[in-house]
Every structure is written in structure tokens, then in C-alpha cells.
Amino acid sequence: MEGVLQGQVAVVTGASRGIGAAIAERFAAQGAKVVVTARTVEDNGNYLPGTINETVDNIVAAGGQALAVQADLAVAADRAKVVREAQAHFGGVDILVNNAAITYFIPVETFPEKRFRLMMDVQVWAPFELSQLVIPGMRERGGGRILNISSHAALHPDKQLPGRGGTVYGMCKAALERLTTGLAQELYADNIGVNVISPGLVATPGVMHHKLINDSNRDTVTPIEHMAEACLRLCYGDAQQLTGRIDYADDVMREFELSAPS
């Protein structure tokens, strides 16, 4: 397939469903060879629908190229496996999209240490280490892109509004945003663009599971296609001109006058 990512290799984590699957499919439609990774390989009655095999099947059916790599990003060996498989099958990594997340909404007072560490491992340490693993190859290839998926939860909350136990989730996303801008600075001379983008409120399986959409915010839901299109736009062009950004999908759509493909 031909497109703005023709000949490039993209790794998309958390791509069995939702935003990750939409990004993987959109990148493939623009010519990228996509490594689709997540924990879920087969539908065995999981409480959330979607598998990496289904994402790959959708890409291949549309004429694209993709590889499914099962990985638990809380496990060091699996993080290394993702990059190793990308290199073995497609020759390297040009684009890394850190989308995978695991989230618990529990007040700080009762938040279990095990779940705290798991969230930090998947949403902060995994993007950090995956970046470490792909940077040398990107540098050798003359450049690359790292795109981290954040959330409005990174913003400081209104202290007068009732909380939903989202403090740890917000911590993870705030850390991810600071990693992004720092890494953009470190890699500027290497032509490696590093950006972070938040989707707004998207009706993904995870969002629906946590009941985050209600009558008060239903009118603000962002189409998942807009998120995928905004992510695509941050992964091509002049990397030194498009780096170090903390963006929101709707803002990117307006700034670049984008429209999602029909």
C-alpha cells in the first residue's frame, strides 16, 4: 500500500482494540508495516473485546502488512521481544507508538502497591524502555518517531469537584508527558521526533467498561477515527519541526485541517 508512511515500520502497543487498533490500521493504510502488540491473542471470553490477531486480520484484509506479537509490557523479556521481532521480520523500527495502558480507579488511601507498580510499569517504564530499545536503530536509519498516548487526566484536577480515584492514572500520564518533552530535547539533533497526544473522550471498550461516558459529557465524545488521523499526522514530515509537542486530537485535526477518511 502507498501512503505517507510507505516503507516504514511502526510498532503500536495496546493494539488489540480501541485506539491502538485504530492507529495500527490507519498507519497500515498509509503504507507502514505494523507490529501489533498486546496481551490478548485469542478471544477467550475476555471482558473487553478485541485481539491482536483480529487487528492484523483487518490490516491484511485491507491490503496492508502486519505482524502480531503477544507481549505483557510489565515483563522485561516481553518488551525486548517486541523490538526483536520487529527487527527480525521487518528490519527495524521507524515509529514507536506507546499506547498500552492498564488502569485502576481507586482512591490513594486504599490503592494497592501491586496495582500501583503495575500501572507505572505499563504506562511509564514500558514506554521509557521501549524508547531506549528503538533509539539506536532509529539513529542508524537517520531518524524516526516516538508517539506517546496520554490523557486529559495528566492535567491538574479541580480540587472542588468529586474525585473518581484517578490520581495514579493522572500521575502516569503526567510522567509520560514529561518523558516526551525531555526525550524530544535529547533526540532533536538525531532527527527523531517525540510527541504526546491525548484523545479526549473516545468510546473505546475500556472507556465504556469504566463507565466514563455519561449524560453530562456525551456530546464531547471524540470519534476514534479523529484520534488515529491526528496520530498519523504527528508521525510524518519534518521531525525537527514537529517534536516536543503536548497535543490533543481535536486541536491537531483543526491545526492541520484534517478530516478522517470515510
- Which residues are catalytic, by number? 169
Q: Which three cell numbers stand for residue 54?
A: 483480529
Dihedral over alpha carbons 134, 136, 141, 144 (to 10 degrees): 50
DSSP 214: -
- CA angle, 169 as apex, 213 and 35 as ends, to 5°? 85
* Whole-angstrom distance, CA of residue 248 vs CA of residue 135: 25
Question: What is the separation, in whole angstroms, between the first and last Cα of the chain?
Answer: 17
Half-sphere exposure of 129 (CA within 13 A, CB side): 19
Is the C-alpha dihedral spanning 56, 2, 142, 20 positive or negative? negative
The alpha-helical segments, DSSP class H, found in 166-212 are 167-187, 205-209
C-alpha cell at 169: 492514572
Question: Which of 8, 18, 95, 104 shows the shortest CA–CA distance to 55?
Answer: 18
Grid cell locating 236: 510524518
Helix boundaries (H) for 4-51: 18-29
